Chains A and B, each alone.
Chain A
Amino acid sequence: MGGKVTCTLGEVKQRADFIIYWGGNPAECHPRHFSKYTLMQKSKFLPKGRKDRTMVLVDIRETKSVKASDIFLQVRPGKDFELITILRALVKEQQVTDEQIEETGLSREALNDLVSRMKAAKFGCMFFGMGLSMTRGKHMNSAALLTLAAEMNAFTKFVAMPMRGHGNVTGADVIMRWQTGFPFGISFNRGYPRYNPGEFSTIDVLVRGDCDAAFIIGADPGGTMPQPAINHLKRIPTIVLDPHITHTSKLARVHITTAAQGIAAPGTAYRMDEIPMPLKPALKSPYPSDEEVVRRINEAIAKKPFWLPEGSMPQMVTEQV
């Protein structure tokens, strides 16, 4: 029942002879992806580089990435999940009618060709972008592609990877996992980590007005989140750590200017394949790093009374009464 089958980008560079980009526009959003990892590199196993690789692009519209692709499949908007689910069925040689296939905007010939190319690949890799993961169906769209990649391993080697961006989002995810067991959507109100996306994820908490303060680092929700979430941020005390003036810093009660990570502050960033990279700052900044600000806030909090009253211990929420 799902899971995730993936690899580091060097594996793609060295081995992937078949690449699918789904719901992403790497030519404009990840401009070095083709040249560094997926298409242009030659390797021991793919000595002819681009000529040894096939690239398929699946998207709802033509983007600049089409030019780089060998095959472009234009899926009807909102039909990604259906298309991937059809592919899962076709891979297993289940009967799907022409009409059913055509609902997705693609023909049987195109899908048969895709499936046979996928099975014939020596090393296939699927990258998916926000065109898949943030449109209707969201996590299930991602799950669909990850499941297809896992199931393809009955035939040949196949992996999948999300095309993540926006600063060090992967790093946050990795560290939350080792400290709490969960990547995001975590509540500590009972004194231990609990996870439930939809209940504790940031947008949902803000839209429902479930929090009475907000502390924001390395993000600009004021520019990206739905209006009800932004309205709540305006209502409550919001504190922002950011090198720049942002939509969020404008609505915040407190904005602490910090040094830009990687430019003026050191640290570690995690690449989309979860490989850690050291950040070596080139410039000096008069501002403190995010880390230093958080550490000093922590020290100040430590001087206050402990959040748990003496002698009390919260209960876990479990199946047991």
Chain B
Amino acid sequence: MGIKLTLIRQPTVPLEAEVLCPDTLADCSADEIAQLTIYHGKRQLPLSDFFEIEGEKSDEIEIHGDLKKVRWIGRGMSRGRLKIQGDVGMHLGAYMRDGLIEVKGDAGDWIGAEMKKGTIRIDGNAGGQIGAAYRGSRRGMRGGLIHVTGSAGLEVGMRMRRGIIVIGGSTRDFTGLQMKGGTILLGEGAEIRTGAWMNRGTIISLKALEVMPTFGIAIRQFTPPFMPLLAKALVSEGITLPENKSFDLYNGDLAVPGRGELLVLSS
């Protein structure tokens, strides 16, 4: 049996709870879990002050409640499964090393920031800086998959190096900013400055979007040979790509100068 945590009162200021992570909880008895430290603003409190706890010693964890103000859940997790019912706050799965996070609800900024491996699935909308590099870091996510069914915010995949980000809806500005590798798939396009200053990597948009003036058109009506492979890889994640579509391929960002690829579904 897994562990089930339910939020029993709303935090009035952000609640930082990096202990809500399979790596930490898996070895804890119910009493130990209740005594884990969380930070309500500057106050250090036991987890049981905010959560009702059922179960113990498991890396299968379910968390219920409106967790919008709860940050750092699943920080650096390397195994197991986190299921979240409800909205969740910033830094979900940051520095993740493996395992699975599933959210039924919306997520905040910085989910999967600088993650290395594992999967994050958001059945809802998410904030900005998904899979991004923290300020000043040279690299964002280095592997793994982030799938957001809804829309997302600014700087999605900023400086990512490897791995895949799939956004079902649309994203805001600077998607793939300074990207160094990996793949971003955009179901409903993006606002502006997509792929700005990218060096390498691939951004695929299934809807027309505004292309930066420093991207050159390489080929129109192009069927990328890797699409079937990508489609196959994503099927197991429950993502289906449209088949036999052709794309316009742009290269950039010339300002760097970079060799990134921006594929936009041909109209």
Contacts and interface: CB of A to CB of B under 8 A. Distances in A.
B28 interface: no
A104 interface: yes
Contacts of A195: 135
Contacts of A197: 135
B76 A309 contact: no
Given A88-B214, A199-B110, 14 more contacts: A85-B196, A85-B213, A94-B214, A96-B213, A96-B214, A189-B39, A190-B39, A210-B13, A210-B69, A307-B42, A321-B18, A321-B24, A321-B76, A321-B77
Interface string A83-100: 001101100101111001
B213 A198 contact: no
A196 B135 contact: yes
Interface of B: 12-14, 16, 18, 21, 23-24, 37, 39, 41-42, 44, 69, 72, 75-78, 90, 95, 109-110, 114, 128-129, 134-135, 138, 173-174, 177-178, 192-193, 196-197, 212-214, 216, 253-257
Interface of A: 1, 78, 81-82, 85-86, 88-89, 92, 94-97, 100-101, 103-104, 136-137, 140, 188-191, 195-199, 210-212, 307, 309, 312, 314-315, 317, 319-321
Contacts of A100: 213-214
A89 B255 contact: yes
Contacts of A188: 42
B12 A92 contact: no
Where chain A touches its partner, the secondary structure class is loop
B14 A210 contact: yes
B214 A92 contact: no
A312 B193 CA distance: 47
Contacts of B75: 317, 321
Contacts of A85: 196-197, 212-214, 253, 255
5 contacts: A78-B192, A97-B216, A210-B14, A211-B13, A312-B44
B146 to A, nearest CB: 18
B254 A89 contact: yes
List of 3 A-B pairs having minimum Cβ-Cβ separation, nearest first: A100-B213, A88-B255, A94-B254
A81 B178 contact: no
B218 to A, nearest CB: 12
Contacts of A210: 13-14, 69
Nearest to B216: A95
A317 B256 CA distance: 33
A101 B77 CA distance: 46
Contacts of A212: 12-13, 41
B254 A321 contact: no
A314 B254 contact: no
Contacts of B24: 321
Contacts of A321: 18, 21, 23-24, 75-78
A81 B44 contact: no
B44 A314 contact: yes
A81 B196 CA distance: 9
B43 to A, nearest CB: 9
A317 B16 contact: yes
Contact of B254 (A78, A95, A189): A95
A195 B134 CA distance: 10
A317 B44 contact: no
